Amino acid sequence: MKKSYSTETDQIWESIEGMERATPSPFFYAKLLHKMQSVQAEQKESFLSQFKPILVIAVLSMMVLTNIGLLLNQSKKATQSIAASSSQTSPVQVFSEEYNLNNTIDF
C-alpha cells in the first residue's frame, strides 16, 4: 500500500514540476483594477450610508422637539393673553363707552 501512495505522489510531483506559469489575457489587469476601484467606491458609499439612518433620526427628533417647544410657547402666550384680556377692557368695550353706545334709551 505504501508503494501505491508513494508512486501516486511521485507522479503528482512530477506533473507539477512540468507545469508552466499561466499567462493572463492582456485585459486581465485592466479588469482587475476596475473591480478593485469599484469595490473601493462601494466601501466609501457604504461608509456614508451607515450614518444616514442616524442623521434622519436626529433631524426628525429635532423637528419634533422644535414643534413641541413652539406649541408649548404658543399655548403659554395664549393663556397669558386671555388672562390679560379678562382683566382689562376689550377695545370694543372702550369704543362703545367712548361713543356712549352702551347706554340704552328708554321711551
Tens of pLDDT, residues 36-91 = 888 877 777 666 677 788 888 999 999 999 999 999 888 887 777 666 666 667 77
**Three cell numbers at 105?**
334709551
Query: How many domains, in total, are found in the chain?
Result: 1
- Tell whether 98 is covered by a domain: yes
- For 9-26, b where at least 16 C-beta lie within 10 A, e where not — what string? eeeeeeeeeeeeeeeeee
**Domain span holding position 100:** 35-107
Provide the pLDDT for residue 92: 79
- Tell whether 19 is covered by a domain: no
Q: How far apart are CA 13 and CA 3, in angstroms?
A: 15
**Three cell numbers at 14?**
512530477
Contact 96, 102 (CB under 8 A): yes
